[in-house]
Amino acid sequence: MTDSAAGKKAHFNVFLRGAGHHSAAWKHPDSNPGEDLDLEYYANIARIAERGLFDSLFTADNYSGLGRRLEPFTLLSALAALTKHVGLIATVSTTYNDPYHVARKFASLDHISKGRAAWNIVTGHSQADAGNFNKPEHPEVSKRYEIGDEFVEITKQLWDSWEEDALVYDRVNEITIDASKVYEINFQGNYHSVRGPLNIPRPPQGYPVLVQAGSSESGKELAAKTAEVIFTAQQTLEAAQEFYLDVKSRLGKYGRKQDQLLIMPGLSPIVADTEAEARDIEDEFNALLNPKQALRRLSSYFTVDLTEYSLDSLVPVDKAKPYGAITSGITSRHEVVVDAARRDKMTLRQFIARSAAGHGHVSFTGSVVQTADFIEKWIRGNGADGFNILPHIYYQGLETFVDKVVPELQNRGLFRTAYEGATLRENLGLARPANKNKEIWKLAREADRLKTGSGS
């Protein structure tokens, strides 16, 4: 354990997902699956997270399929009015949106929440998304990341198109905005052309916190260049340490320091006062699973139909699709899921249970002390800077973590006892970005002025 690791404190985000993250959560008698379209349901989750001093909550999103998903900006804007501290992370695709709209919406959310907005940057989900946006095809992975890289750069420039003191409200001279401090960006790229400026002042945080999810090679490079938080999925501490070192080592070539990026693997905990009680809860949820349905879903990672195998057969990892063969969804999740089955020599029955608990993220079942031990080991061992918490069921799973695990971590000096600041950046320990283009634009305007003057 390094000296820097010894003083680390954990960061926590809670991942919003229907009745909970266990595949059978919606079938459990303690859940009310219809509540996932109810604002008060999400408000209660947000209040629990805030009581537990969580940094943020996160809502995933896609643009196709039959899932029930409230639109992120609508939901998080409502939650901003009902909370005071917890950060609000919206998932927005760079493939099926326009940079100007996204920059404006995030600036608005950041102003409404007084500096608690964050953007989970994704590049798109599937071919079905393309069909809903009048696009002939879903771009292949490398092209999606090229588009995404350009998209993020445009949004940053739009957020920087206002100087901090451009709003003057000068009653004497009847001036509300100093136009000399608001700039056109005139961005000409391979995929977008944007004049600017944005029609809303710079966000309170400078930029909303930039989050990226995924563990593919392209995703890691985008994270190293752009992201300030990365949500990822590793099943073992060794894999997490390897990922942590890999991504952090890439930051230098982009002029960034290691503390400018927080790595937060997903963790799906089932916690009780004793390990035996936690195992009973796990067994109760697993008993609600439909094995055939689960195997049909998991068959997407294989070249064979898993429903034709016995539940007590070993997972046929030799029939897994080659890594890189899956180009829709979270492409890196394929590797994580299959590697776990191979490493632990799982039967299909075990494979179903493991996949149901964390859908590719690490799951942990144990006592309060054991759960705190697990978290401490990953934090102190430089496998994580915090965790994206995936409760098995709402509200109980989150309440147990907040009311029992958080105090244990506080007693160990591993978690805050109060919020450090007013904004999400302050609570995450991230600096507020300077307006990178301010001086460039000033010089350009001065050159234009001198040129115009000399020609008159």
Nearest to 22 by CA among 10, 38, 12, 33: 33
82 vs 68 pLDDT, higher one: 82
424 vs 350 pLDDT, higher one: 424
22: left (phi over 0), alpha (psi -120 to 50) or beta: beta
Q: In the predicted model, what is the mean pLDDT of residues 5-13?
A: 89
Instruction: Give the pLDDT confidence score for residue 456 in this predicted structure.
Output: 42
d(CA 204, CA 352): 45
Instruction: Give the pLDDT confidence score for residue 325 in this predicted structure.
Output: 54
d(CA 156, CA 106): 11
Instruction: Give the pLDDT confidence score for residue 222 in this predicted structure.
Output: 86
Which distant-in-sequence residues (6+ apart) come within 8 Å of 135 by Cβ?
96
Is the CB of residue 48 less than 8 Å from the CB of residue 402? yes
Say yes or no to pLDDT of 284 above 70: yes
Question: What is the DSSP secondary-structure string of 287-335?
Answer: TT--HHHHHHHHGGGBSS-GGGS-TTSBP-GGGBPPTT---SS-TTHHH
Instruction: Give the pLDDT confidence score for residue 331 in this predicted structure.
Output: 52
Instruction: Give the pLDDT confidence score for residue 326 in this predicted structure.
Output: 55
Is the CB of residue 54 less than 8 Å from the CB of residue 86? yes
Q: Which range is most confident: 27-41, 53-67, 200-214, 344-358?
A: 200-214
Asked if the peptide bond before residue 391 counts as cis, ω within 30 degrees of 0, the response is no
d(CA 291, CA 298): 10
* Helix residue spans in 160-313 (DSSP H): 217-226, 237-249, 275-286, 291-298
Question: What percent of the chain is predicted at pLDDT more than 70?
Answer: 95
Q: In the predicted model, what is the mean pLDDT of residues 98-109?
A: 98
Over its C-alpha atoms, the chain yields an Rg (Å, rounded) of: 23
Mean pLDDT taken over the chain: 91
How would you class 39 by CB atoms within 10 Å of its CB: exposed for 0-12, middle for 13-18, buried for 19 or more?
middle
202 vs 355 pLDDT, higher one: 202
Instruction: Give the pLDDT confidence score for residue 379 in this predicted structure.
Output: 98
Say yes or no to pLDDT of 244 above 80: yes
Say yes or no to pLDDT of 455 above 50: no
pLDDT in tens, 179-188: 999 999 999 9
d(CA 203, CA 425): 12
Instruction: Extract the tokens encoding 162.
Output: 């206002």
Nearest to 426 by CA among 39, 27, 43, 56: 56
Instruction: Extract the tokens encoding 200.
Output: 């809303």
Instruction: Give the pLDDT confidence score for residue 430 in this predicted structure.
Output: 98
CB environment 86-119: b (16+ within 10 A), e (fewer): bbbbbbbbbbbbebbebbbbbbebbbbbebbbbb
Instruction: Give the pLDDT confidence score for residue 442 in this predicted structure.
Output: 67
Q: Amino acid letter at 246?
A: D
pLDDT in tens, 319-372: 898 865 555 545 555 677 788 888 889 899 988 888 888 777 999 999 999 999
Domains and CATH numbers, the chain: 8-162+187-275+359-430 (3.20.20.30)
Q: Which helix (H) or strand (E) holds 452?
A: helix 438-454
pLDDT in tens, 366-412: 999 999 999 999 999 999 999 999 999 999 999 999 999 999 999 99
d(CA 410, CA 8): 12
Say yes or no to pLDDT of 438 above 90: no
Identify the weakest region by mean pLDDT among 34-48, 319-333, 351-365, 430-444: 319-333
Instruction: Give the pLDDT confidence score for residue 196 in this predicted structure.
Output: 95
How would you class 298 by CB atoms within 10 Å of its CB: exposed for 0-12, middle for 13-18, buried for 19 or more?
buried
Question: What percent of the chain is predicted at pLDDT more than 90?
Answer: 74
Q: In the predicted model, what is the mean pLDDT of residues 114-129?
A: 91
d(CA 108, CA 149): 22
Is the CB of residue 392 less than 8 Å from the CB of residue 284? no
